[in-house]
């Protein structure tokens, strides 16, 4: 499993960084500070999810989907996954497929930018 982002300043993204949107989540990516050691961070805010149970479930779903699509994460990028309210209604397979498409979109965006 990959390392996670812990510091706030590492979560900050620029305007030109690739982004993939979905009804259940948003994925942002930027060049990693530690080449060869890509990391990811999860955001499930109190503003979006009033109950801690819902925030924890959203993060748990994101972690599971990331684990299934780990091979699609590029090693030279840091990823930030932002949960949206709709994530709580996703089926397991539906979420894995959505995550796969989002990561493919990010990889394509990075490749096109180079």
CATH number at residue 21: 3.30.230.10
Q: For 61-101, write each residue's pLDDT tens digit.
A: 999 999 999 889 888 888 999 999 999 999 999 999 999 99
Number of domain units in the chain: 1
* The model's pTM: 0.88
More confident site: 80 or 4: 80
Domain residue limits at 27: 3-113
- Check pLDDT > 80 for residue 60: yes
If pLDDT is split at 50, 70 and 90, which confidence band does 1 have? very low
Of 18, 39, 10, give the one whose Cα is nearest residue 106.
18
Q: For 63-73, write each residue's pLDDT tens digit.
A: 999 999 988 98
Of 13, 6, 7, give the one whose Cα is nearest residue 30.
13
Q: For 19-52, write each residue's pLDDT tens digit.
A: 888 899 999 888 887 777 778 889 999 999 999 9
């Amino acid at each position: 499993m990959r390392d996670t982002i812990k510091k706030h300043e590492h979560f900050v993204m620029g305007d030109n960084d690739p982004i993939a949107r979905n009804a259940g989540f948003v994925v942002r990516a930027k060049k990693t500070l530690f080449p060869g050691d890509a990391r990811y961070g999860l955001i499930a805010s109190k503003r979006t999810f009033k109950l801690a149970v819902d925030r924890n479930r959203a993060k748990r779903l994101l972690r599971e989907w990331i684990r299934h699509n780990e091979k699609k994460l590029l090693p030279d990028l840091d990823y930030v996954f932002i949960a949206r309210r709709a994530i709580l209604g996703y089926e397991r397979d539906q979420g894995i497929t959505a995550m796969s498409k989002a990561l493919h979109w990010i990889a394509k965006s990075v490749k096109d930018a180079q």
